[in-house]
Amino acid sequence: MTLPDPHAAKRLADKQELRARLKARREGLAQDRAAAAEQAARHALAVPDLAGPIAAYWPMGSELDPRPLMAQLAARGFEICLPKVVAKGRPLRFHLWRPGDALEAGPLGTSQPGDRAPECRPRTLIVPLLAFDGRGGRLGYGGGFYDRTLEALRAEGPVLAIGFGFAAQEVEAVPMSPADRRLDWLATESGARKVKS
């Protein structure tokens, strides 16, 4: 018999507070977002062991824009894929994408490839985030999509997960639950670094 986690309610409240605070921080950034995206792309490209296909994401709201990185990866011959939300509580599914391909409106405000785009299994994931810490802890929007996806992909073989965001999104510690999955690398406009284990 599994006992309930006595810290789960506090961890959930801490995550909700951190989400609100970091979303406001990200939206309030005064820096040149296009320049930050270019700098972060340059740093992400220097991460060793990048392997394709590489999954990225289409930016929403104030997220750091990965499209400059996607364009550079495609120019270097990497296959790029984008996530598709299948259903609540399920891992993401990935479909090939090339610069210029049309996207469809998806759930939760996402833009995603249509069903005609071939599916792919990424070996590297560029992961959006609201907050991150130096040990690879990541806070997203609370749906658990990337946690379930990383768990499923890692069960099949090695996958490199690179958190992609603004340096201002770093916090001392992200509250982690047993279902949360850690990142391997972090890439921001300030540099890229392997997480501490």
CATH number for the domain including 176? 3.40.50.10420
Residue 144 maps to a domain = yes
Residue 1 maps to a domain = no
Residues 9-49 pLDDT 10s = 777 787 888 787 878 888 888 779 999 999 999 999 999 99
Q: What is the pLDDT of residue 196?
A: 83
Q: Alpha carbon of 54 to those of 89, 127, 138, 152: distances in Å? A: 23, 11, 19, 16
Residue 67 maps to a domain = yes
Average pLDDT over residues 127-136: 94
Bigger pLDDT: 1 or 152?
Answer: 152
In SS3 terms, 85-109 reads as CCCCCCCCEEEEECCCCCCEECHHH
DSSP structure class, residue 60: -
For every residue of 132-182, DSSP letters joined together read E-TTS-EE-SSS-HHHHHHHHHHHHS--EEEEE--GGGB-S-----TT---
Residue 2 maps to a domain = no
Domain count, the chain: 1
Task: Identify the domain containing residue 129 by its residue range.
Answer: 8-194
Residue 3 maps to a domain = no
pTM, two decimal places? 0.90
Helix axes 33-45, 67-75, angle to 10 degrees: 40
Residue 69 maps to a domain = yes
